[in-house]
Amino acid sequence: KEIGFRLSSLIQQRVLIKLEAEDISKEIEPSQGAKPNSDFSQPLPKNKAETNIRINKRTKKNMGRGDGILGIRDAAEGGSRATVTRRKKWLKRRERWLVVLGVVLHAVYMLSIFDIYFKTPIVHGMDPVTPRFQAPAKRLILLVADGLRADKFYEPDSEGNFRAPFLRSVIKEKGRWGVSHARPPTESRPGHVAIIAGFYEDPSAVTKGWKANPVEFDSVFNRSRHTFAFGSPDIVPIFCRALPHSTWNSYPHEFEDFATDASFLDEWSFDQFQSLLNRSNQDPKLKELLLQDNLVVFLHLLGCDSNGHAHKPYSSIYLNNVKVVDNIAARVYNLVEDYFKDNRTAYIFTADHGMSDKGSHGDGHPSNTDTPLVAWGAGVKYPRPISRSNLTDCGFRFIDEHMHDTPTPTEWGLHGIERVDVNQADIAPLMSTLLGLPCPVNSVGSLPLDYVNMSEEAEVEAVLANSKQVLSQFLYKSQMKQSNSLNFKPFKPLAHYSTMLNEIEYQISAKNHEAAMKLSEELRGLALQGLNYFQTYDWLMLMTVISLGYIGWMIYLVLHVLQSYTSLSGYPFRKEQTVHQTNDTTKVQLCGCLFMGVISILLFIERSPPLYHAYTTVTVFLWTQIFSEYQFIRALWNQLHGRRFYYIIKILGTCAVSVFILEFLVNSFTERQLYTWCFLIVGVIASLTLFKSLPWRSGIPLFACLACWFLSVFTLMPAEIPENNHLVIGSGVMIIMIGMAARWLDLHAEGNKYWLSICNHEMKTTSFPMLFQLQALLVGLSSVMVSLSTSHRIQKRELLALHQFINWFIAGFSMILPLFSANGLLSRLTSIFLGFAPTFLLLSIGYEAIFYGALALVLMAWILFENTLLYASKVKRSPASLQNVKDDVGLEFGNRYLQLSDVRIPLTFMVLFNVAFFGTGNFASIASFEISSVYRFITVFSPFLMAALLIFKLFIPFMLVICAFSAITKLNRLPRLGCYFLVIALSDVMTIHFFFLVRNKGSWMEIGNSISHFGIMSAQVVFVLLLFALTNIYTKDIHISSTHPSSRKAM
């Protein structure tokens, strides 16, 4: 022990020597860019709130003079320059470390949703279950109309004519129909996987790319003798690229240019199929192949999807495409029947997903999830008139629990005919059964018996085969879990599955089909439940670890903020001086390491996924760090103990208000109208406060009130922005007017002390004399371009290359200009506001363009509010308090310590940051952005560029808020990173709340939203940081003129 003690003190000394040597070498170098008054031994004239003075006075009473709160004062006042420099370095290192830790932690914990909710359902190694019945069909034609929503398919048009006459005649005369319920994400790839392979792909597959096949999976095509597939290059290769027994073709990507009518894509697929049949007349080998059994023909019809995206599902082009699709179905039917003439073909017509009114898909809205399903031909039942008794419910619904048999709208004109709804994945076992093939091994679909026309015996065999296939998946998963876990908890209801199987076999041999059917269905239901059980097996453990981790992170952050940016800071240096404490810290850390090791070994034995190690490691690490700060925590506790009751109440009050605001924000995620109330009330409160604080009569309170009320309007508007070009153009005028007003204020507010810190006339230098005029001109020009390029699009013409070029140029050029503006607070912010306006206008389609101006006005009001508080505190300050200014200083770059009341700034920031999003949208439609807003930049369908542009559009209001936030921290001389950490700690309160709000029951809309809320909140740490870094380019050289020249003289 003695040796260890010596050793650690030796190391300590070495570190000290090294640090001091660095300091000296630093001092020898001429410090570049350092402000002449950055010397800490000479305090700066500082503005400060009165509360701070009071706090400091009280502190002194408690701790005795010269002692500081935790002894920082004697370190700093001892004149030890090295300590201050070391402190600075330590802080810098610590900040960098915290940012890295925060990013890593949030990334790791965000990945946990992939382990918890998006765990891939695929397992390998099960054997297919060969069915024991005669196949009713020899071949199957699968027609998928991409993006065709159910209501547009079934309902009549305004003149009462139905759009799909052929398929309606099928429904009425020779087939079955229903609604197939897709599961979010309602995207093409998961939709097709559900139809063809029978399972719901984990949404992470979407991120792994559309063209490549991230995982091998079994499909109906795989089981077929041969598959012919024609369609989009995004879909067909998913299933056919690795399939040797397939013939497929797809058109080049350029065909998907969405400026024209895309129904020719459907025709392309049909033509391919037709020419295949024609070719077979000359090709005997092909003919022989076509005449064999177990064939699948898949025609992917992309027209509806492309036209829906480009022209929305209410457009005549989309609706006409429904007719095209129906016509193709008719032609395919006639072609096939003419060719084979054997009545052994089954037909299935469906869609992979719907299309929302905005021309997008992806979320769980019924317009996206409800797709038509029509089946007819060999092995399919004939229509049956509806009766009360045959209203079947399709049994257990796997995770997806929404109601299926929603009433059929009367205008569909189909209420007399039985409708059978299915889950999208049920189509795969249906196709397998029609062809007499084994179900795809990963399928979780339940065979919809109401579609199949077979003998009772064959029906039982078909359901049994389906049940066995689901059961074998369950058994495989159960086995894998059992072989790995130390404390295995089996799924009890299926403990005696083999008795159940025997019972079913017995009933079948006794020709007791009804009982056998009932048992088979029960077995399938249990097996599906069991699959779900193993899918969610680790939830409790993971959720505990992760919520502990978040809590630890918040505590750690708050400790850091207290240690580094408040008057409590400086403590760590005292710690370094006492070796005993270091020794204790080492002990704590050693314990932490040991604990971590034990957990890792346990996880390793259980063969847990590598990320499980990451979750536990991060959590244990954080708590170890917190425990090793126990000295500080104890000191903190003693501090609080020594304080007066009033102070404790104040802290608790601040916490309560913060939690209230954060809970308000959590609720606003589902109800954006809350912001309307919020801003109506805030407008009144802010203007009253301003009115009281300002000693002279001015328009500022009125301005703040009106700005808030103006902004409150936007959260009442529909989240799905209606197109309105006049608003966009009008907003251009408004933005120029706001800019001119700010400019006028900037130029004419001289001589007033209140405006001094904002306008900053001493520093007015710009390398660009006509900058303001140029920026205003660009805003005007972008308004003109908005009207020009849209009028071209309305006339169904393509976006002119010239327009496209000008739009890109304006957007790019205008964003560089703010960098050259004068560095006064108001002039720089005005310039940033004008700089992003053209890009935003070009990306706008409706009222959100006005929102941009309204948000800027509120941000201005916020700045004025903070400036007023500052001004009021300056006016009130008595000369006697000047000696306390010393306590105020102590952070780098002349920043002052954070105080309790400063929490209002991160809180206000968070409200504004969220309203920047909710002013123009909501999370219900997060996956389905308004796609037409990118038309002024691109015409060819390129998902990544489009997504990038849309995300950039979202970024712009956020950037404005962050710029204002940065300006306010400069105005108040607060440490910006300290405020950033507070924002992160506060937003993690919301993250935890959302983590617990994540649900796995209810409609998919709710499930999807709850998951995306959590994901978005976890991403915020990176998101905010990224935006901080980005906006720092614009705001870093904002200069606030020294606000209190008289006090400096007094010093």
Nearer to Zn ion, 734 or 927 (CB): 927
Q: How far is the CB of 1007 from Zn ion (least distance, A)?
A: 21
Q: How far is the CB of 194 from Zn ion (least distance, A)?
A: 12
Nearer to Zn ion, 364 or 890 (CB): 364
Nearer to Zn ion, 310 or 665 (CB): 310
Nearer to Zn ion, 364 or 957 (CB): 364
Q: How far is the CB of 302 from Zn ion (least distance, A)?
A: 8
Amino acid at 338: D
Nearer to Zn ion, 188 or 789 (CB): 188
Q: Is 546 left (phi over 0), alpha (psi -120 to 50) or beta?
A: alpha
Options 145-153, 398-406, 741-749, 863-871: segment touching Zn ion (CB under 5 A)? 145-153
> Per CB under 5 A, which of residues 184..203 are in contact with Zn ion?
188
Q: How far is the CB of 252 from Zn ion (least distance, A)?
A: 18
Options 42-50, 297-305, 440-448, 567-575: segment touching Zn ion (CB under 5 A)? 297-305
> Per CB under 5 A, which of residues 110..139 are in contact with Zn ion?
none
Nearer to Zn ion, 325 or 470 (CB): 325
Binding track over 298-317 against Zn ion, x by CB under 5 A? -------x------------
> Per CB under 5 A, which of residues 856..885 are in contact with Zn ion?
none
DSSP string, 675-730: HHHHHHHHHHHHHHHHHHH-SS--SHHHHHHHHHHHHHTGGGS-SSPPP-HHHHHH
Binding track over 795-834 against Zn ion, x by CB under 5 A? ----------------------------------------
Q: How far is the CB of 125 from Zn ion (least distance, A)?
A: 31
Identify the residue among 352, 450, 461, 848 touching Zn ion (CB under 5 A): 352
Nearer to Zn ion, 300 or 970 (CB): 300
Q: How far is the CB of 235 from Zn ion (least distance, A)?
A: 8
Q: Which residues of 361-378 are buried (b: 16+ CB within 10 A; e: fewer)?
A: bbbbbbbbbbbbbbbbbb
Nearer to Zn ion, 59 or 188 (CB): 188
Q: How far is the CB of 802 from Zn ion (least distance, A)?
A: 29
Neighbours of 726 (CB within 10 A): 9
Q: CA-CA distance, 368 to 503, in Å (whole number)?
A: 42
Options 3-11, 347-355, 714-722, 1032-1040: segment touching Zn ion (CB under 5 A)? 347-355
Nearer to Zn ion, 23 or 256 (CB): 256
Q: How far is the CB of 555 from Zn ion (least distance, A)?
A: 45
Q: How far is the CB of 815 from Zn ion (least distance, A)?
A: 31
Options 349-357, 366-374, 651-659, 1026-1034: segment touching Zn ion (CB under 5 A)? 349-357
Q: How far is the CB of 147 from Zn ion (least distance, A)?
A: 5
CB 896 within 8 A of CB 1040: no
> Per CB under 5 A, which of residues 320..339 are in contact with Zn ion?
none
Sheet with strand 345-350: strands edge to edge: 246-250, 226-231, 295-301, 139-145, 345-350, 370-377, 175-181, 422-423
Q: How far is the CB of 936 from Zn ion (least distance, A)?
A: 21
Q: How far is the CB of 360 from Zn ion (least distance, A)?
A: 8
Nearer to Zn ion, 147 or 957 (CB): 147
Options 183-191, 288-296, 576-584, 808-816: segment touching Zn ion (CB under 5 A)? 183-191
**DSSP class of 891:** S
CB 932 within 8 A of CB 828: no
Q: Which pair of structure tokens corresponds to residue 667?
A: 């609720």
Please classify residue 1025 by burial: count the beta carbons closer than 10 Å to its beta carbon, then call 0-12 exposed, 13-18 middle and 19+ buried: middle
Q: CA-CA distance, 522 to 528, in Å (whole number)?
A: 10
Q: Is 768 left (phi over 0), alpha (psi -120 to 50) or beta?
A: beta
The torsion angle over the Cα atoms of residues 782, 786, 788 and 793, rounded to 10 degrees, is 150
Nearer to Zn ion, 190 or 525 (CB): 190
Q: How far apart are the first and last CA of the chain?
A: 52
Q: CA-CA distance, 130 to 152, in Å (whole number)?
A: 39
Q: Are strands 345-350 and 370-377 parallel, antiparallel or unpaired?
A: antiparallel
Binding residues for Zn ion, rule CB under 5 A, total 5
Q: How far is the CB of 263 from Zn ion (least distance, A)?
A: 15
> Per CB under 5 A, which of residues 147..166 are in contact with Zn ion?
147
Cis peptide before 718 (omega within 30 of 0): no
C-alpha angle 667/668/670, rounded to 5°?
A: 75
Nearer to Zn ion, 317 or 863 (CB): 317
Residue nearest to Zn ion (CB): 188
Q: Which pair of structure tokens corresponds to residue 42?
A: 């000479």
Q: CA-CA distance, 359 to 329, in Å (whole number)?
A: 24
Q: Report the greatest alpha carbon distance in the chain.
A: 107
> Per CB under 5 A, which of residues 18..77 are in contact with Zn ion?
none
Helix axes 825-842, 848-876, angle to 10 degrees: 170
Q: Which pair of structure tokens corresponds to residue 828?
A: 């720089």
Options 144-152, 263-271, 583-591, 894-902: segment touching Zn ion (CB under 5 A)? 144-152
Q: Are strands 422-423 and 370-377 parallel, antiparallel or unpaired?
A: unpaired
Q: How far is the CB of 322 from Zn ion (least distance, A)?
A: 15
Q: Which pair of structure tokens corresponds to residue 513?
A: 């089909």
Cβ neighbors of 358 (< 8 A, separation 6 or more) are 312, 720, 925, 928, 930, 931
Q: How far is the CB of 368 from Zn ion (least distance, A)?
A: 10
Q: Is 746 in the site for Zn ion (CB under 5 A)?
A: no
Nearer to Zn ion, 146 or 418 (CB): 146
Q: CA-CA distance, 1009 to 994, in Å (whole number)?
A: 10
Q: CA-CA distance, 621 to 605, in Å (whole number)?
A: 21
Cβ neighbors of 696 (< 8 A, separation 6 or more) are none
Nearer to Zn ion, 756 or 927 (CB): 927
Of 219, 232, 235, 305, which Cα lies nearest the Cα of 269?
232
Q: How far is the CB of 243 from Zn ion (least distance, A)?
A: 21
Q: Is 146 in the site for Zn ion (CB under 5 A)?
A: yes
Options 26-34, 348-356, 461-469, 864-872: segment touching Zn ion (CB under 5 A)? 348-356
Q: How far is the CB of 188 from Zn ion (least distance, A)?
A: 3
Q: Is 29 left (phi over 0), alpha (psi -120 to 50) or beta?
A: beta
DSSP string, 344-359: -EEEEEE-S----TTS
User: For tokens 């706001």, what's the residue?
Assistant: 738
Q: Is 363 in the site for Zn ion (CB under 5 A)?
A: no
Binding track over 457-496 against Zn ion, x by CB under 5 A? ----------------------------------------
CA distances from 399 to 170, 190, 445 (A): 32, 16, 12
Nearer to Zn ion, 305 or 326 (CB): 305
Nearer to Zn ion, 188 or 628 (CB): 188
Q: How far is the CB of 941 from Zn ion (least distance, A)?
A: 9
CA distances from 392 to 388, 454, 897 (A): 9, 18, 69
Nearer to Zn ion, 256 or 418 (CB): 256
Nearer to Zn ion, 352 or 421 (CB): 352
Q: Which residues bind Zn ion (CB under 5 A)?
A: 146-147, 188, 305, 352
